[in-house]
A = this chain, B = another copy of it.
Amino acid sequence: MYDLLGTLSLIEVSSFVAAPTIGLYCAQFGADVIRVDQIGGGQDFHRLPVNERGDSFSWENLNRAKRSVALDLTRSEGRELLVRLCQDVGTLATNLPPRGFLAHEKLEAGRLDMISVRVMGWPDGAIALDYTVNAGVGYPALTGHGDEPVNHSLPAWDFITGAYGAFALLAAVQRRAATGLGGEVRLPLTDIAMGTVANLGRVAEVVHTGQDRPRLGNAVYGTIGRDFVTADGARVMIVAINERQWQGLVRALDLSSAVAGLEAAFGVSLSGDDGVRFRHRDAIFAVLEKAIAAITHAELVERLDVEGVTHGPYNTLPQAMQDERLFTANPLFTMSNNNPSGLAYPAAGAIATIPQMERTPAVPAPHIGQHTEQVLAERLKLPAGEIARLVDTGIAGIAP
């Protein structure tokens, strides 16, 4: 946690991963993020993984450092309070549909410089999720070793969308500060994904070659990188990402004569152009495989480190959680005790490091409705009696 955004307030009405991430990143940088949920929690409040009580570990980590207001959004009085909160705060992040009761035009009618950032499926409002979008832009067709499509397990498009959404939100806030103008920033997952494919040069590549690139298994496109197994059975990802690292890899594994042999066999130079190396990757991989299978992981690490070649072991998550630099001695993580689930564990703060500022510990997620009374009093100036009436009639909910 770093206090960079202490002047920003944000209403978040969200579920799943992408939209909550927008608020999470802002909250971890010190913004006042007020999450508004249906009383009892929304559709992702019990999303797996959960404890025995059904408290969601994903919900409580995606919603750290936010405040929580609970309203009955099935009733018009609850929805109207949420609209007033949005208009008072002036900035909203949501994944609710563009034509619903939080439509930008409705909010804007009561707050001229309203900013809404809206995570969507398709631009036309049709539904889509990370998993369907990923299948649609072609990554499963390139993943894995066989002929069948393989889904990746990281919801990458959700996180790219969440991070980009946080960026777009601050850009819109900066424009509002300069011009007084608000607006709605729509972020369809399909556009984020197809735009990212294009940004990687892959649309141009298909226009140029007329076809998709080949499926590469665990190899990295465009350079020399793949997984290898050492004499003692460790699997290591090695990438010689530039000329210097390629030369280092050849020295590290004492392969200069083997590489000279490949150069003679194929009539090419393997120095100076990683495109040439990539085209001859199968032969190079065979040479690397043999050399790496002959030495231990410890010896491999020592040799690659001397030469500055990029490498890293394959871990399971429990193994990663034994690693000092990744986790056990990483200042990014601080013990979090007061989580809604009751479980104590190391939690991540802001995923940046700012040497000039004090890093403060991760803050727990709220209980649903924990800040309802506080926020209604503070933002809507509701008198205590009116708040009590809203709670008594079930329009507003408070934490048990």
Kindly state the interface size class of chain A when it binds its partner.
35 or more
A114-168 residues with Cβ-Cβ distance < 8 A to B are 121-124, 127-129, 131-145, 148-156, 159-160, 163-164, 166-168
Q: A318-B211, A319-B138 given as contacts; is B325 within 8 A of A198 (CB)?
A: no
- Decide if A383 is an interface residue (CB 8 Å cutoff): no
Segment of A79-87, A218-226, A387-395 in the binding face? A218-226
Contact B171 A201 (CB under 8 A): no
In the complex with contacts A60-B204, A171-B5, A201-B56, A351-B196 CB distance below 8 A: yes
Which B-chain residue is minimally distant from A236 (CB atoms)?
B135
* Shortest beta-carbon distance from A131 to chain B in Å: 5
Q: Select the residue from A140, A164, A188, A190 with max chain B CB neighbours within 10 A.
A: A164
CB neighbours (8 Å) of A213 from chain B are: 49
Q: Do B326 and A171 have beta carbons less than 8 Å apart?
A: no
B136 near A320 with CB under 8 A, answer yes
Give 5 pairs: A residue, B residue, CB < 8 Å, sorted on A: A7-B178, A129-B239, A132-B237, A191-B332, A199-B348
Q: CA–CA, A263 to B156, complex, Å? A: 34
Knowing A204-B345, A310-B128, say if A243 contacts B167 (CB, 8 Å): no
A110 located at the interface, meaning its Cβ lies under 8 Å from any Cβ of chain B in the complex: no
**Contacting chain B: which of A16-24, A253-261, A284-292, A367-375?**
A16-24
* Residue pair B152, A185 in contact (C-beta under 8 Å): no
Residues of B within 8 A of A137 (CB): 315, 317, 320, 326
Segment among A32-40, A69-77, A271-279 that sits at the interface with chain B: A271-279
